[in-house]
Structure 1
Amino acid sequence: MTRTWQRWQDWAALVIGVLTALSPIVVSTDTAALWSLIVFGVLIAATALWSLAQPGSVASEYVHAVLGVLLFISPWVFSYADLGGASWTSWVAGVLTVAVGLAALPSANAEHRGLVGQH
């Protein structure tokens, strides 16, 4: 059974979210890129905190994956693909978010099954 605040994938997601939200400080952005990076970064960080606090929450890991996909496509959706720093931040952070979300699924499923079995 995984204890709360222990899973490395969730800590990685938290770091990715915080760095994404803070990235407009160091990369060139326009308004769309600025808000996309901040909003997705905060949502990824918040979901990571949810996962850390409730390691049996399978839904939070799927939310990581969905947020990662949305972050990855955001340069095209919000028309900032021509801004290299903002685009690459979105692409790399998006792929990493999907990867850590999916990597945490087996342990989240096992934790969830353990919790369900105790009812």
Structure 2
Amino acid sequence: MPIETSRRGGRSVQDWIMLICGVLLFVAPWAMGFSSDAMAARAAWVGGIVIAAMAMAALVQFAEWEDWVALIAGVLMIVAPWALGFAALQEAVWPFVALGLITALASLSEIWMLHSPEHAAR
């Protein structure tokens, strides 16, 4: 059975971390006070939904592609304030950069574990 389709049944702490990051990113516009900026708020809502959905999917039935999508979403969240033009909103920049970085690192960690010889043998 290939590693990328093996069932882990919610044992991955990285998936739980990504789920929390997705939820936090989704509520960030209200919690951090930038919900009046349409671009920043929409980016947070869409990014949060994508990250949380990938984490929930991985918790239910793991597939490696979910981690790759979460990695891309995390990197996009890091660059979103500058790419989408709301970098002047410091209350928006910090959640995007911090939660995007945590998401990217968690997904990279999981991808590395899948391809690491000592973890693949388990």
State the TM bucket, normalised to the shorter chain.
Answer: 0.7 to 0.9
Query: What is the one-letter code of the residue matched to 2:50?
Result: L
Query: What is the one-letter code of the residue matched to 2:97?
Result: W
Q: TM-score, normalised by structure 2?
A: 0.83
CA contact (8 A) 1:58 1:109 kept: no
May I ask how many residue pairs the two structures share in their alignment? 111
Q: Does 1:90 align with 2:92?
A: no
Matched with 2:23 is 18
- Pick one of 77, 88, 93 that aligns with 2:83: 77
1:67-90 superposed Cα distances (whole Å, 9 cap, x missing partner): 001111110111110111111100
Distance in 2 between the 1:77 and 1:47 partners? 23
- Pick one of 59, 66, 71 that aligns with 1:60: 66
CA contact (8 A) 2:44 2:96 kept: yes
Q: TM-score, normalised by structure 1?
A: 0.85
1:29-64 superposed Cα distances (whole Å, 9 cap, x missing partner): 211000001110011000001111123x11111111
RMSD of aligned Cα (Å) = 1.9
Identity of aligned residues (%): 29
